[in-house]
């Protein structure tokens, strides 16, 4: 039986591919369309890349990425879980600041995610997935869905994109590093100030660059939280 995930991806694939067939309905083009569709159906049916719950949690932009990258979607999903697990363990690690919400642990999660994806599927595909995730965050903001602790906002997205690029660059330059070597390299980069985090005071409140408190509970996308180098 074809699962919920497979049917969902197949439906999305059909929408994408049918646009091409309608644009050029000649027999040769239509036959190619049907062959591609059949191949995608068989591939997705047996790939078991994600559980139905995981597929449902993806944003529209992330689902489009999956449909366009079926050969690597399963690997990307596993690496996403791996990155989250490693970041969770680092919340208790003295090498970073224990902060998963705009802090160094948050920066590590994004950088490690992109570094491992780049090692596995290449820089271009990795960064496209990272961008799809950020587009999804904006949709989460519009729907009132929190990420980690707070609603996504403009400066958290700027932070994520910076750390995504950092991680992709390191993953490309350290293609043969083990997971442990990569983790340590990224921690070193973070401690030397090459990643970015959001400025906070001693009470964990977000601050702008003038040192004034920023209320992240306000439902506005644009916020003036200050982006600063890690390692401080």
**Are 43 and 70 a contacting pair, CB within 8 Å?**
yes
Q: Which residue has the higher pLDDT, 30 or 228?
A: 228
Please say if the pLDDT value at position 24 is more than 70.
no
Burial of 173 (0-12, 13-18, 19+ CB in 10 A): exposed
Please say if the pLDDT value at position 135 is more than 60.
yes
Q: Mean pLDDT across the chain, nearest whole number?
A: 85
Secondary structure percentages of the chain, helix, strand, coil, to 5: 65, 5, 30
Q: What is the pLDDT of residue 158?
A: 97
How much of the chain, in percent, has pLDDT values that exceed 90? 66
Among 29-38, 92-101, 174-183, the least confident range: 29-38
Tally of helices (H runs) and strands (E runs) in the chain: 9, 2
Average pLDDT over every residue of 81-110: 96
Please say if the pLDDT value at position 27 is more than 90.
no
**Are 198 and 163 a contacting pair, CB within 8 Å?**
no
| pLDDT level of residue 54 (50, 70, 90 thresholds) | confident
| pLDDT level of residue 216 (50, 70, 90 thresholds) | confident
* Global model pTM greater than 0.75: yes
Which residues face 198 on adjacent strands?
227
Average pLDDT over every residue of 163-185: 97
């Amino acid at each position: 039986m074809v699962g919920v995930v497979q049917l969902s991806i197949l439906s999305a694939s059909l929408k994408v591919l049918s646009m091409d067939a309608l644009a050029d309905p000649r027999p040769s083009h239509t036959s190619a369309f049907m062959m591609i569709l059949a191949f995608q159906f068989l591939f997705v049916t047996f790939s078991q890349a994600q559980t139905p719950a995981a597929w449902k949690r993806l944003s529209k932009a992330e689902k489009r990425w999956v449909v366009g990258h079926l050969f690597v979607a399963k690997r990307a999903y596993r690496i996403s879980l791996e990155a989250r697990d490693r970041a969770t363990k680092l919340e208790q690690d003295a090498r970073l600041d224990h902060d998963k919400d705009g802090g160094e642990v948050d920066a590590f999660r994004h950088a490690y995610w992109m570094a491992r994806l780049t090692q596995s599927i290449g820089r271009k595909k990795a960064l496209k997935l990272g961008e799809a995730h950020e587009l999804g965050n904006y949709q989460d903001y519009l729907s009132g869905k929190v990420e980690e602790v707070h609603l996504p906002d403009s400066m958290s997205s700027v932070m994520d994109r910076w750390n995504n690029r950092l991680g992709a660059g390191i993953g490309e330059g350290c293609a043969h590093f083990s997971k442990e070597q990569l983790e340590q390299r990224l921690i070193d980069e973070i401690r030397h100030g090459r990643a970015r985090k959001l400025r906070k005071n001693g009470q964990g409140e977000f601050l702008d660059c003038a040192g004034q408190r920023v209320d992240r509970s306000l439902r506005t996308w644009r916020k003036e939280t200050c982006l600063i180098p890690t390692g401080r």
